[in-house]
Structure 1
Amino acid sequence: MQHGKYRFIVGFLVVPLALYALFVLWPFVQAIFYSFTNWSGLSPDFQMIGFDNYTRMFEDEIFWKALRHSLIFAVVLPLLTIGLALFFAFMLNVGGRARKGAAVTGVRGSGFYKIVYFFPQVLSIAIVALLFKFAYNPTDGVLNSLLRAIGLDSVQPDWLGDPDLALICVMVVLVWSTVGFFVVLFSAGMASIPKDFYEAALLDGANRFTTFFRITLPLLWDTVQSGWIYMGILALGAESFAVVHIMTVGPRGGGPDFSTIVLPLYVYQNAFGPGQAAYATTIGVALLIVTLLFATVVMRLGRRERLEY
């Protein structure tokens, strides 16, 4: 009987695991292999060169700029996005004044606010990047037009053309486009917390600040940790690539003076620009290591005793 059970389990797992190995694990193995070669990506011919690509990468100033910017994204973007999402979700679900016999409720119009916060998720990240690129236009963009309208003609920043501002402008777009998803995620988590906990806290005289840090955050911690890892991966991956590539200046994005270059974009530039696919896979391996280290650090630092209710 036990033997038949195991055969049944293996029969169901063998096909999904084979597909996972073929389409997920095997590309990683190929990327690591090609990082030790001299391969253009345009032909099947390649030459083994050992660690030359890694030596070149460690001596590449643009790589270190891209790595620094990606690490800034991985640290700052989750902090801002998760923090704002927790605040908005708390106010929408718990932060309102008591009314109609309900001791715990969200702010008035919370249903409408949820739609407003989630609206950016309906738009493609490419559309969002284009909209903000027009808004940041120094000549006729929305931001500088508003500054002129209120009499600040002398304050006309070149938002995406200033190396000191460009990276901040990109981060603002990423926060705006992703915070709504986490508002919905945390709202779902808060809805599952028994209202009795909040009502008991109110009877004991707890304010919103105490209620959040003593009840909401501890009971929502697993969701917050998962959201932190997910946001960090977004910041290190496709989201940052799309926004930087579309919004920033330069022949292939990442400017000015590589002030917004990130690792995914640098991989793309090397693979499809000068045709240095092997060097691009080397940078991709570095990005993989950074992503794994980020997830490991967040899981280790966020480890705590699980609370159940």
Structure 2
Amino acid sequence: MQHGKYRFIVGFLVVPMALYVIFVIWPFIQSIYYSFTDWTGLSPDFKMVGFDNYTKMLDDDIFWKSLQHSVMLAILLPLVTLGLALFFAFMLNVGGRRRKGAAIAGVRGSGFYKIAYFFPQVLSIAIVAILFQFAFDPAQGMINGTLKAVGFDDVPTWLGDPQLALWVVMAVLVWCTTGFFVVLFSAGMASIPKDFYEAALLDGASRFTTFFRITLPLLWDTVQSGWVYMGILALGAEGFAIVHIMSVGPGGPDYSTTVLPLYVYQSAFRDGQAGYATTIGVALLIVTLAFAAIVMRVGRRERLEF
């Protein structure tokens, strides 16, 4: 009977595991292999160059700038996004005034707010980037037009300013990702028994206290997973798409918005250095794995059940 059970399990796992190895693991192995070559990406001919690409990468100022920007996004983007999402979700579920028959309730119109917060998730990331590119246009954009209308003549150039460009990109990423976590955290808060909150309020606890003593500890696993997800998102496709579409260059001005995924793309398809691009990709893989491991280790807590 046991042998039959194992054959049954293996029969279900062999196909998805084979697909995972072919389409996920094997490309990683290929990337590591090509990082030791001078492959241009345009020709099947290449030769092994050992650690030359890695030496070049460590001496590359643009790589270090890109790494700094990517790490900033991976740290600050989850912090701001998850913080806002927790605040909004708490207000939508617990932060309202007492009503007849309900000691715990969200603010009025919470259903509408959830839809409004989630709306950016419906839009493609490319559409979001194009919309905000027009909005931040220094000459004809809505934001500078509004500032001029209320009396500000010395308006910033936003994406043209090396000191502001990365912060603008980060603000757009926060805008388009917060809504997803508002809905996610709202679902988690809805599953927390109302009795917990009512007992705390009867004991004189404030909303602030109930959030840090009840809500956050019981949602911690979800928050931790969201932090890892947001970090990977910032280091991956969404961070690349926003920067590639919105920024000057892209990646400018003066490499002020260049992130690792964009530098991989430019090295491979603009400069014809696919071997060097895969070297940067390996560094990006290491940074992503290290980030996920640190978050899971630092954020590990005893699991609470209710």
Which of the five TM-score ranges fits, normalised by the shorter chain? over 0.9
Deviations 1:42-74 (A, max 9, x none): 122110010000000000000000000000000
1:55 is aligned with what amino acid?
A: T
Distance 1:126 1:100 in 2: 46
Question: How many Å apart are 1:84 and its aligned residue?
Answer: 0.2
Runs of 4+ in structure 1 over 2 Å off: none
Q: Which residue of 2 aligns with 1:29?
A: 29
Question: How many Å apart are 1:298 and its aligned residue?
Answer: 0.2
Q: Can you give the 5+ residue segments of structure 2 that lack an aligned partner in the other structure?
A: none
Residue 89 of structure 1 aligns to a residue in which SS? helix
The alignment's TM-score, normalised by the length of structure 2, stands at: 0.99
> Which of 293, 296, 306 is 2:293 aligned to?
296
Distance 1:133 1:4 in 2: 59
Residue 288 of structure 1 aligns to a residue in which SS? helix
Mapped pair 1:281 → 2:282: no
Question: How many Å apart are 1:100 and its aligned residue?
Answer: 2.3
Deviations 1:200-257 (A, max 9, x none): 111111111000000000000000000000000000011110000000111xx00000
Q: Which residue of 2 aligns with 1:258?
A: 255
Distance 2:9 2:110 in 1: 46
1:74 is aligned with what amino acid?
A: A
Q: Which residue of 2 aligns with 1:233?
A: 232
Mapped pair 1:179 → 2:178: yes
Distance 1:128 1:100 in 2: 41
1:297 is aligned with what amino acid?
A: I
Question: How many Å apart are 1:33 and its aligned residue?
Answer: 0.3
Q: Which residue of 2 aligns with 1:111?
A: 111
Deviations 1:108-149 (A, max 9, x none): 110111111001001001110111110110101111111111
Residue 11 of structure 2 aligns to a residue in which SS? helix
- Residues 76-115 of structure 1 mapped to structure 2, 5 A cutoff: 76-115=76-115
1:94 is aligned with what amino acid?
A: V
Residue 25 of structure 2 aligns to a residue in which SS? helix
Mapped pair 1:163 → 2:162: yes
Distance 1:186 1:113 in 2: 14
Distance 2:84 2:98 in 1: 23
Q: Which residue of 1 aligns with 2:195?
A: 196
Mapped pair 1:307 → 2:301: no
1:58 is aligned with what amino acid?
A: L
Q: Which residue of 2 aligns with 1:135?
A: 135
Distance 1:232 1:25 in 2: 21
Distance 2:158 2:110 in 1: 33
Q: Which residue of 2 aligns with 1:249?
A: 248
The alignment's TM-score, normalised by the length of structure 1, stands at: 0.98
Distance 1:271 1:122 in 2: 31
Distance 1:14 1:160 in 2: 49
Residue 158 of structure 2 aligns to a residue in which SS? coil
Q: Which residue of 2 aligns with 1:205?
A: 204
Mapped pair 1:216 → 2:215: yes
Distance 1:276 1:240 in 2: 22
Residue 159 of structure 2 aligns to a residue in which SS? coil
Distance 2:272 2:143 in 1: 38
Distance 1:13 1:132 in 2: 44
Residue 242 of structure 1 aligns to a residue in which SS? helix
| C-alpha RMSD over aligned residues | 0.6
Q: Which residue of 2 aligns with 1:48?
A: 48
Mapped pair 1:151 → 2:151: yes
1:193 is aligned with what amino acid?
A: I
Distance 1:307 1:139 in 2: 53
Distance 2:41 2:198 in 1: 62
Length, aligned pairs only:
306
Q: Can you give the 5+ residue segments of structure 1 that lack an aligned partner in the other structure?
A: none
Mapped pair 1:269 → 2:253: no
Report the identity percentage: 78
